[in-house]
């Protein structure tokens, strides 16, 4: 099916006082409640909340004004009348079935990243969306950041010259031991598992589901979706040709998914590395460095900086010259810009800033890296992974 035109800006004031879109929130954990705050701040009305864990549901209910219904099963929420859209912030393994059910119920959807559990599931989800007319935005908020959009123009203008290497990095010191003590409050374990393999309740699998392959691709796909999307967007590339990866679980006994890893992706004209260390605060948070033949761009949450490099090694020691800072552009965007773009598109029916195809391409490389890590070999796009 043909894609909708790119979005036009529609101000939030276009929604009348009595024409505020109504939504239901599926999954009210930390990320879900954060999105909930954003959509309420932007004027949307929450009429329904859903979570399999009653303490999370209670926290979301407490922060929600007005008459709101609560549900344990997301399918019951989707049967509720009066919802214009749904926000899905569930664990990764529930994204595909929840998206499919929401589309079947006729709802527009804001779906958290990463899109999927594997490349084949991504392809099915693209087909789901393109067979219908709903607006679907994936929660990759860098697509709505003005300084990154400006950086794209700088790179497209040839300021860096040919890009030969990109380095993406994310460092946090995240010390969360896996605790199997009983949960405080009621959990519907079977609904949490959903399409995942059935097993007896292990509280640590609920508390830190991102540490287990049944429910997530770990931070390889969670944070990698953000950064590899920016890499591919800035350089005009789709998914990589191949991936290799090494990683390990560092001081988190019981976890399956590495919290320290380094992957290398092969693109037609450059290599990109994606490195994460959740046991270090060195260069805290995320960053991406685009290395060109004429200049280098360093980007992080504060904005981007552009450096002219210190000369070729044609004369002794010229490589020790300090790079010249030639531009610095800070991040001045609203933290709700991505959610606002989605609300604007509900009204205009235009394509949002992060359509489903972008999300599928962004997570493809991280999925390949996870396969390379687990199979201990290079993974080539289009070749059997077994």
Enumerate domains of the chain plus CATH numbers: 12-143+337-351 (3.40.50.720), 146-334+364-380 (3.30.360.10)
User: Nearest 5 degrees, angle CA 268-CA 274-CA 279?
Assistant: 170
The tokens of 60 are what? Answer: 């979301």
Q: Which residue has the tokens 């993974």?
A: 379
Please compute the mean of the pLDDT values over residues 355-369 and round it to a whole number: 99
Pair 128, 106: CB distance under 8 Å:
no
For the stretch 212-263, pLDDT in tens is 999 999 999 999 999 999 999 999 999 999 999 999 999 888 999 999 999 9
Instruction: For helices 356-375 and 218-235, give the axis angle rounded to 10 degrees.
Output: 130
Residue 315 has pLDDT above 90, yes or no: no
Percent of the chain with pLDDT over 90: 82
d(CA 302, CA 265): 26
Can you tell me whether residue 29 is helix, strand or coil?
coil
Alpha helices in the chain (DSSP H): 30-41, 54-62, 74-79, 95-104, 119-130, 146-156, 189-193, 203-207, 218-235, 337-348, 356-375
Pair 308, 323: CB distance under 8 Å:
yes
Residue 147 has pLDDT above 90, yes or no: yes
Please compute the mean of the pLDDT values over residues 4-12 and round it to a whole number: 40
pTM here? Answer: 0.92
Q: Categorize the per-residue pLDDT at 83 as very low, low, confident or very high, splitting at 50, 70 and 90.
A: very high
11-18 long-range contacts, CB within 8 A, separation 24+: 11/344, 12/42, 12/43, 12/340, 12/343, 12/344, 14/344, 14/347, 15/43, 15/343, 15/347
Q: Categorize the per-residue pLDDT at 105 as very low, low, confident or very high, splitting at 50, 70 and 90.
A: very high
Residue 292 has pLDDT above 50, yes or no: yes
Least confident of 74-78, 160-164, 171-175: 171-175
Q: Is the peptide bond before 114 cis (omega within 30 degrees of 0)?
A: yes
Q: In what order do the strands lie in the sheet with 271-277?
A: 324-330, 303-308, 295-300, 285-292, 163-171, 271-277, 260-266, 242-248, 379-380
Please compute the mean of the pLDDT values over residues 309-314 and round it to a whole number: 54
Q: Categorize the per-residue pLDDT at 40 as very low, low, confident or very high, splitting at 50, 70 and 90.
A: very high
The rounded Cα 236 to chain-centroid distance in angstroms is 19
Per-residue model confidence (pLDDT) at position 332: 84
Q: In what order do the strands lie in the sheet with 108-111?
A: 69-71, 45-50, 22-26, 85-88, 108-111, 136-138
Q: Categorize the per-residue pLDDT at 7 as very low, low, confident or very high, splitting at 50, 70 and 90.
A: very low
Per-residue model confidence (pLDDT) at position 326: 84
Per-residue model confidence (pLDDT) at position 14: 43
Please compute the mean of the pLDDT values over residues 89-98 and round it to a whole number: 99
Per-residue model confidence (pLDDT) at position 251: 86
Residue 110 has pLDDT above 80, yes or no: yes
Contacts of 215 (CB under 8 A, 6+ apart): 91, 92, 93, 196, 205, 209
Q: Categorize the per-residue pLDDT at 385 as very low, low, confident or very high, splitting at 50, 70 and 90.
A: low
Per-residue model confidence (pLDDT) at position 386: 52
In 3D, which of 214, 232, 227 has the Cα closest to residue 152? 232
The larger pLDDT score, comparing residue 363 to residue 328, is at 363
Would you mind telling me the total number of residues written for the chain in this entry? Answer: 386
Residue 10 has pLDDT above 90, yes or no: no
Per-residue model confidence (pLDDT) at position 173: 84
């Amino acid at each position: 099916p043909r894609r909708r035109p790119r979005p036009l800006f529609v101000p939030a004031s276009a929604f009348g006082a009595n024409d505020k879109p109504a939504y239901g929130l599926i999954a009210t954990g930390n990320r879900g409640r954060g999105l909930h705050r954003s959509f309420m701040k932007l004027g949307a009305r929450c009429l329904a909340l859903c979570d399999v864990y009653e303490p999370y549901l209670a926290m979301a209910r407490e922060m929600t004004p007005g008459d709101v219904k609560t549900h344990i099963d997301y399918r019951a929420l989707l049967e509720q009348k009066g919802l214009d859209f749904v926000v899905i912030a569930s664990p990764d393994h529930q994204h595909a079935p929840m998206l499919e059910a929401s589309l079947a119920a006729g709802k527009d959807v804001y779906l958290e990243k990463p899109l999927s559990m594997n490349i084949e599931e991504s392809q099915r989800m693209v087909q789901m969306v393109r067979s219908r007319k709903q607006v679907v935005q994936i929660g990759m908020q860098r697509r709505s950041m003005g300084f990154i959009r400006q950086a794209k123009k700088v790179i497209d203008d040839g300021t860096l010259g040919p890009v030969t290497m990109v380095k993406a990095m994310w460092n946090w010191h995240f010390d969360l031991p896996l605790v199997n003590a009983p949960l405080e409050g009621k959990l519907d374990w079977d609904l949490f598992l959903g399409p995942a393999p059935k097993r007896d309740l292990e509280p640590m699998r609920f508390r830190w589901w991102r540490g287990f392959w049944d429910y997530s691709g770990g931070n390889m796909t969670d944070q990698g979706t953000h950064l590899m999307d920016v890499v591919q967007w800035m350089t005009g590339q789709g998914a990589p040709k191949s991936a290799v990866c090494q990683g390990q679980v560092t001081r988190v006994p019981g976890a399956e998914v590495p919290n320290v890893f380094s992957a290398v992706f092969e693109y037609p004209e450059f290599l990109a590395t994606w490195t994460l260390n959740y046991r270090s605060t060195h260069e805290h948070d995320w960053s991406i460095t685009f290395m060109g033949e004429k200049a280098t761009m360093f980007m992080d949450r504060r904005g981007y900086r552009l450096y002219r490099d210190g000369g070729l090694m044609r004369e002794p020691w010229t490589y020790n010259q300090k790079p010249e800072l030639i531009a610095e552009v800070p991040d001045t965007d609203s933290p709700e810009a991505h959610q606002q773009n989605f609300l604007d598109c509900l009204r205009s029916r235009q394509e949002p800033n992060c359509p489903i195809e972008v999300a599928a391409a962004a997570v493809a490389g991280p999925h390949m890296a996870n396969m390379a890590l687990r199979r201990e070999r290079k993974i080539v796009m289009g070749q059997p992974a077994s």
